[in-house]
Each structure stands twice: as structure tokens, then as C-alpha cells.
Amino acid sequence: MRLQQKNIVFHLKALGVSDEAWRRLAVDGAAEILSVFRRGITIAPLNDHNGRPIFVSCPGEGLLPEHVVVTKKDCEAILAHGRPGDTVFFTKRHRFRMEMPSLSASAQTIDESLKLLEQFVPSNGMTGLNIPCGEVLDDAWEWSEVFRCDWDKLPSWETEERRSVLLQRLIGRGHGSTPAGDDMLVGAMAYIAVNEKALAHKTFFNTIRALESKFPVLTTSTSEVYLHWALHRVFSSDIIRLMEGIMSGDRRKIERNIDALLRHGATSGLDTLVGIILIIRNSQKYCLNVLFGQRSLLSL
């Protein structure tokens, strides 16, 4: 009986281990199970128990920054019988890297990609903040200033302090293992990371990076993983492929990876997509206004 066993040891075959997880797992790959979910588990390496949780799943679930991919047979066994506190050992095989490439694209290509993204976000769709997408994408949304690009062109102590205050209210906001506010920020950082011409490379990232020491009290341990690695240009495979589609204007690639992203969690994929749209809209709006002189930088 399970109740009579205090601890079970699982020996798993790792088909692939992300660079970030590889460095944290000991030579023998020993770790403790933290949580068991529908599609995988999270673990804490025995040699690094206070670090961020590592996700373990079978192939086909998308790749995450700190991730171990195991065989379908092993995954089914651990989902059926594994519990928090059990021990897992991995045979480590291939390493993979989840770093976002730097790409460039014309304003027209990005604008066309943006229109396609917007088709997948219904205005009445509910984000993880329990606020409809249409309201979040409206300029009047209370946290829309976080994504403003004019602040990044004319940075000052006041503007960055204002963004820092707003970020501390947005980080960790929402329910679930990855709160909606964090998912939106990860989406925004993905676009900034891939687009070598994007604004906010320094100020947006630096303001969030300055808050990293507060992540443990602001948000969940799982979400902390995504925010931490986003600051280092490391993202999930679905987000990376979507960004590549956006920058190339590849309609089929965009649609395919939006579908994959929207399958993330209850609303995590949708929230990430909303964050991507917010930052692209602001970037495009800023560039057009500067190009045609329709408004001053401070009027956006």
C-alpha cells in the first residue's frame, strides 16, 4: 500500500535536459519531487534544494527553461505513483538550450503579425486577472503604463520608479502556479529579447532585474523560474517559435505556435499572448508617432 511507504525512489531515463537544469542536477541526477501535476512534476535537486523548481515531463509538452524530458513510460509511472517527497534519479543524456535569438523585421511585417495575433484574443475572453482581454488591452487599463515605450526612450529616475511601483503590483497578480501578471511580463520580455530594434532593452529589463531579489515574496516559485530566465533571454520553446514567426511574418508558424501557447495552463498562454500584444502595440505606436511627428514623446 502507498500509505505504508514513506518514500519511493524512481529511476528515470532523461531524453533531454535543458542547460539550466543540467547545471543544477548532481552527477547522479538525484532530486526530490515537489509537486505532481496533470502533465508532469516539479523537482528540487538534492544538492540545490533551495533553488527554483525544475519541470519534468514526457515529450510533446513544450520545452521550458528548467526542464527534464523523460520517456512517456517513465512519465506515466511517476504521474500515477509519485508523490511529493519521493526521490528521483536521472540518467542525463542530451542537453538543449532555450535562448531567444536576436532577429530583425520591418515595421510592416511586425504590424501584420500583430493583426494576426489580435485575431486570437477575443475581447470577452477572460484573462487570469479575471478581467476581459478587451479591458486589459485598452489604454485605460491600470497597468498599461508598465508596457509604455516612451519611458524607455527618455528614462529618468521618476519614470523608472513609477514603473517599479507598478511592476511590484503586477508581479504575482492572479491565481495559479504562474500568475497572470507574470505571464504578461514574460510575453513582453520575449518580444524585447527577440527584436534587436525593440525599445526597452535596457530600462525595461533593468527595472524588472532590480526587483528579482523580491520575486520570492512577490510571486510563486514556479513563476519565479520564468521571470528569472526571461531576464537572461531564456524562454519556453513555444514562445521562441512564436517570436520567430512574428519576426519572419510566417503566418502558418504564428498560428501553429499560438495554438500551442494557448494550451499552456488555464489562462497562462492567453495571458502571455496578451503581454506580447501589449508590448508590440506600444512599440509600434511609439515608432509611428516619432516617425510622423503626430505626438510628442511624452504625450503617448
The predicted structure's pLDDT at residue 95: 86
Pick 47 or 297 by higher pLDDT: 47
Q: What residues contact residue 199 under an 8 Å CB cut-off, 6+ apart?
A: 149, 152, 153, 192, 283, 286
Measure the N-to-C terminal CA separation of the chain; round to a whole number of Å: 64
Q: How far apart are CA 211 and CA 206, in angstroms?
A: 9
Q: How far apart are CA 298 and CA 282, in angstroms?
A: 13
What 3-state DSSP class applies to 160? Answer: helix
The string of DSSP codes covering 92-127 is: --EEE--BPPPB---HHHHHHHHHHHHHTS-TTPBP
The predicted structure's pLDDT at residue 297: 31
Angle of CA points 152, 179, 51, to nearest 5°: 90
Cα radius of gyration rounded to whole Å, the chain? 20
- The residue among 173, 141, 139, 146 whose CA lies nearest residue 295 is 139
The predicted structure's pLDDT at residue 282: 86
Q: Tell whether the torsion through CA atoms of 227, 228, 232 and 236 is positive or negative.
A: negative
Residue 292 has pLDDT above 80, yes or no: no
What is the residue whose three cell numbers read 510628442?
Answer: 296
Q: How far apart are CA 200 and CA 150, in angstroms?
A: 9
Beta strand pairing status for 87-91 and 9-18?
Answer: parallel
SS3 breakdown of the chain: % helix, strand, coil, rounded to 5?
A: 50, 15, 35
Q: How far apart are CA 229 and CA 207, in angstroms?
A: 15
The predicted structure's pLDDT at residue 153: 65
- Other Cβ atoms within 10 Å of 136 Cβ, number: 24
Q: How far apart are CA 278 and CA 112, in angstroms?
A: 15
The predicted structure's pLDDT at residue 290: 42
User: Looking at the whole model, is its pTM more than 0.85?
Assistant: no
pLDDT tens digits, 87-108: 999 887 788 888 899 999 998 9
pLDDT bin (cut points 50, 70, 90) of residue 288 is very low
The predicted structure's pLDDT at residue 192: 92
Calculated CA dihedral for residues 160, 164, 165, 166, nearest 10 degrees: 100
Q: How far apart are CA 117 and CA 253, in angstroms?
A: 12
Question: Beta partners for 94?
Answer: 16
Residue 296 has pLDDT above 80, yes or no: no
Q: Poorest-confidence range of 1-15, 72-86, 189-203? A: 1-15
DSSP H or E stretch at residue 40: strand 40-45
The predicted structure's pLDDT at residue 49: 66
Residue 294 has pLDDT above 70, yes or no: no
Q: What DSSP state is assigned to residue 2?
A: G
The predicted structure's pLDDT at residue 85: 93
Highest mean pLDDT among 63-67, 231-235, 262-266: 231-235
Q: How far apart are CA 228 and CA 243, in angstroms?
A: 19
